[in-house]
Each structure stands twice: as structure tokens, then as C-alpha cells.
Amino acid sequence: MTAKVLLPGAMNDRGQPTTLGVMGGGQLGRMFVQAAQAMGYFTAVLDPDPASPAGLVAHWHIQTPYDDEQGLAQLMQRCDAITTEFENVPAPALVTLGAHRPVAPAASCVAVAQDRIQEKAHFVQCGPVSGVYPAPYAAIESDALLAAAPADLLPGILKTARLGYDGKGQVRVNDRAGLAAAWERLGRVPCVLEKLLPLQAECSVIVARGADGQVVTFPVQKNTHHDGILAVTEVFGGAVPAALAERARASTAAIARHLNYVGVLCVEYFVVDDGRGGSDLVVNEMAPRPHNSGHHTQDACDLSQFEAQVRALAGLPLPEPRQHSPAIMLNLLGDLWFNPNGVRAQASEQPVSPPWAQVLALPGTHLHLYGKLSARPGRKMGHLNITGESVQQVRETAARALALLGLPPLA
Ligand code: ADP
Ligand code: MG
């Protein structure tokens, strides 16, 4: 169904308050729900987990599997428009919903982002317009394709085409024997072999595109990962060289347009050595939703990525976002609860809350915890946004917060 403007605080033609729904109840869904509620929308979440972070704060929480017909029917009954907060929501469920309600992003766009083979093919197609290409790669879906993989992709990284995240579902391989063993290890599922590139840095760009085709872009985010999980995002002029940042923004907008995308889209890039003493940009992957690297927009921009998601879904105007403060975001993983003052506790010890009072005594700190009831190592529990008058001040505050939390210093 095509979108019409869904004004907040109004009654719909079923005599209910205008309600926005989300497939998935994780932290991204929770922050979408909170942004929607701040604007006066009612909200509904479909997630089987009774303690899901978004389910806990939505007006309605439908606790069924994502492909449950009754659950989907209830969601449609409640909602005037529906979005998603994770890319692995079954595409057929979005097709069902999309037949009766505006759904953004569309099932077809989510399907491309769910599959690295389709995703990379899309990036290659966009190349002539976006000016940015993916790393050299080959799809590995059969013994014949495995044998035919070009030698110049080695050393490389073998990644499952579907369901990988936070560095899971990928294996580094040095030679043909390692490649064959890795494909066995990954269960011989469809994969992509990618050439291992000399990364200078990683960055990402978030865009929002309305049903009217208007695209707005957020400033480029510089990302640092630890153990395959995002640890720190830095966003200020100069964090990424200006010329590359401009190319990344233009490329992301082109990728969204080419998909006829509606909603919030994040595209990840590598900054690589161009072999001539300079830097080049390579497109890595995309997420059909707000992204961990865009959380700073909640406190450092006049439009957050979640409000942008609400506006795109509701057909409201999307003004160009303005960043009003340099920002650093620190990801808060469950490890922190077992790591008081930086001393790793025994695994059997009870979780202990990190020293929030001390962290919040630092100027320009904004704590966002996701309401998850138990901390586990590697689990995303929240994030800390840091804003300030200058890059130097924000970096100093981040350094102090990292020290209080027992985390490694900024690079
Ligand atoms: P995920 O879905 O787990 O985020 P990514 O494709 O983003 O998967 O890979 C995770 C991380 O692995 C990247 O952020 C980057 O640090 C590293 N990486 C991935 N592909 C390459 C590559 N071709 N060359 C070098 N490093 C890579
Ligand atoms: Mg990634």
C-alpha cells in the first residue's frame, strides 16, 4: 500500500489513535517507539520475547513469531503503517503486511540487504552513479564456484550470504585449502569470498528517504570495532577526510534512490589505501534501518535517526539534519557489568552496574540503556553519547568516560 500522511495525535478511520508499528523488539525498535511516542503516536511491536526492549515500552506488544499469521493480522489491525528494526525479519511477512498497510522499507529492499550476494550486486549496479564499488568478491554457492574462485581474492574473508552480524558468520582465509575448510566450517551455505583489504578506517552514512523521493543525509560517522563489534563512533568535521566523506554521502543517497528506498538506510564503507599513497572508498554493506553507528544523532543532531524513521514512515517532511555538536558514541556491552573499574571479574560473579553516577558527572554525557534485564558479555546493553563545544572537549570527556568504564582509550 502506498503511504499517505499520518499525522501524529490524530484518530484514524478505524476510530483509533494513529499508531505506528515495528517488526522486532530490540533496542532499535525501542528507540523508534520512543521517538514515535515523543511525537504523539501510539505504537505497537511484534516480537515473541515478552521482555523485548521495545515490547516493554510500546502501547501494544504482540508476542508471536514474526511469520505468525494471527500476529501479523493483529499488528495490521493496530497499525496505520509498519517498519522494521532488524534485517532478518522474514521478507514474506513484510509482503503480507505491505498488501494491507504502508510498510517502509519495502520487503524488496529488506530482501536485498538480507543477502550479501544480492547486496553486492546492487552496489556494483550503483557503481557508475555512486562512484564507489565493493571489495573484489565472488559468490561461493557450489563446489564448482569454490574451485573457480579467483586466486587474487586470497587472502580474503569468507562471509555467509545471510544472517551474519557483528563479525559472526565470517572466516579469514589465506589460501585455497583454508577457503575449502572455511566453507565446510560455515556449513556449505551460500557465501561471499571477499578480498582482504588494507583498511585505514571504517565509516558509515545514514540517509532517510521519503515516499516522495526526497533524500536527506546525516554526517559521516567514523567507526572503530573491537572483536567485530562496534565500539566507538566519532562524528565531527575531519574525523573522515572531507573529500571521502562527501563521496560517501553522495554514494549512500545514490544507493537509496536506486532501490527506490523509503525509510532510514545505513551504508558501511571502508577507507582503504589506494596504493598511491592516498585513500579510497569501498562500500561494504547496508542495513535497512537505523544503525548502531547513528545513535549520536539522538543528542548531537536536530533530527535523530529514529525521528527520521518515524517521519519517513508517516509521510511527514524530512528536513536536512543539522549536527549541532561534535559527538562521540561509546557502545556499552554487557562485559562492562562484569568488569568493575576495568578489572575483569570471574565469570561466575554477579553482574555489577558500571559507575554511571561518575560517568554522568562528566559534562555532555547522555546515557541510553535499553532496559535489558540481564547483562551478558557481548550483549549490547546501551550506549553513551558525548557532546560538547569542541572536538577536543568531546575527546577529553570520552577519554575520562572510557577510563571510568575500564575500556581501552580512543585510538
Ligand atoms: P558484519 O555483518 O559482521 O558487520 P562486515 O562485512 O561489516 O560484517 O565485517 C565485519 C568487519 O570485518 C568489518 O567492520 C571490518 O572491520 C572487517 N572486514 C570485513 N570485510 C573486510 C575486508 N574485505 N577487508 C578487510 N576487513 C574486512
Ligand atoms: Mg558490518
Beta carbons within 8 Å of 60's beta carbon, 6+ residues apart = 19, 42, 43, 44, 45, 78
* pLDDT for position 379: 94
Instruction: Please tell me the distance from the alpha carbon of residue 354 to that of residue 266, in angstroms, as a whole number.
Output: 30
What is the Å distance from ligand 2's center to 214 Cα? 26
Instruction: Please tell me the distance from the alpha carbon of residue 207 to that of residue 182, in angstroms, as a whole number.
Output: 35
Ligand 1 atom nearest to CA at 159: 6
Confidence of residue 4 (pLDDT cuts 50, 70, 90): confident
Q: Which of 152, 157, 163 to mutate to test the pocket of ligand 1 (most atoms within 8 A of CB)?
A: 157
Confidence of residue 341 (pLDDT cuts 50, 70, 90): low
Residue 32 phi/psi, 5-degree rounding, is -65, -45
Q: Is the pLDDT of residue 203 over 70?
A: yes
Q: What percent of the chain has pLDDT over 90?
A: 89
What is the Å distance from ligand 2's center to 295 Cα? 15
Q: What is the mean pLDDT of residues 51-64?
A: 98
What is the Å distance from ligand 2's center to 291 Cα? 10
Q: Which ligand is nearest to the CA of 293?
A: 2
CA–chain centroid gap for 367, Å, is 19
What is the Å distance from ligand 1's center to 8 Cα? 39
**Higher pLDDT, residue 1 or 307:** 307
Q: What is the pLDDT of residues 228-282, one digit of tens each?
A: 899 999 999 999 999 999 999 999 999 999 999 999 999 999 999 988 888 999 9
Confidence of residue 88 (pLDDT cuts 50, 70, 90): confident
Site residues for ligand 1, CB cut-off 6 Å: 135, 157, 159, 164-167, 194-197, 199, 202, 225, 228, 268, 284-285
Q: Which ligand is nearest to the CA of 227?
A: 1
Which residue type occupies 303? L
Q: Collapsing DSSP states into helix, strand and coil, what is residue 249? A: helix
- Cβ-contact 67, 88 below 8 angstroms: no
Q: What is the mean pLDDT of residues 178-202?
A: 96
Q: Which ligand is nearest to the CA of 120?
A: 1
* pLDDT for position 277: 87
Q: Is the pLDDT of residue 224 over 60?
A: yes
Q: Which of 222, 284, 331 to mutate to test the pocket of ligand 1 (most atoms within 8 A of CB)?
A: 284
Pairing of strands 156-160, 170-173: antiparallel
Q: Collapsing DSSP states into helix, strand and coil, what is residue 76? A: helix
Q: Which three cell numbers stand for residue 158?
A: 569468507
**Secondary structure element (H or E) that encloses residue 71, with its range:** helix 69-78
Average pLDDT of every residue of the chain: 94
The reply to whether the predicted model has a pTM over 0.85 is yes
Half-sphere exposure of residue 29: CA atoms within 13 angstroms, side-chain side: 33
Nearest to 329 by CA among 398, 228, 257, 380: 398
Ligand 1 atom nearest to CA at 166: 3
Angle subtended at Cα 328 by Cα 201 and Cα 123, rounded to the nearest 5 degrees = 40
* pLDDT for position 176: 95
Tell me the torsion sign for CA atoms 136, 140, 141, 144: positive
Q: Which of 170, 281, 380 to mutate to test the pocket of ligand 1 (most atoms within 8 A of CB)?
A: 170
Of 47-51, 125-129, 305-309, 319-323, the one with minimum mean pLDDT is 125-129
What is the Å distance from ligand 2's center to 168 Cα? 10
Confidence of residue 343 (pLDDT cuts 50, 70, 90): low
* pLDDT for position 229: 92
Ligand 1 atom nearest to CA at 135: 23
What is the Å distance from ligand 2's center to 8 Cα? 34
Q: What is the pLDDT of residues 117-155, one digit of tens each?
A: 999 999 999 999 989 999 999 999 999 999 999 999 999
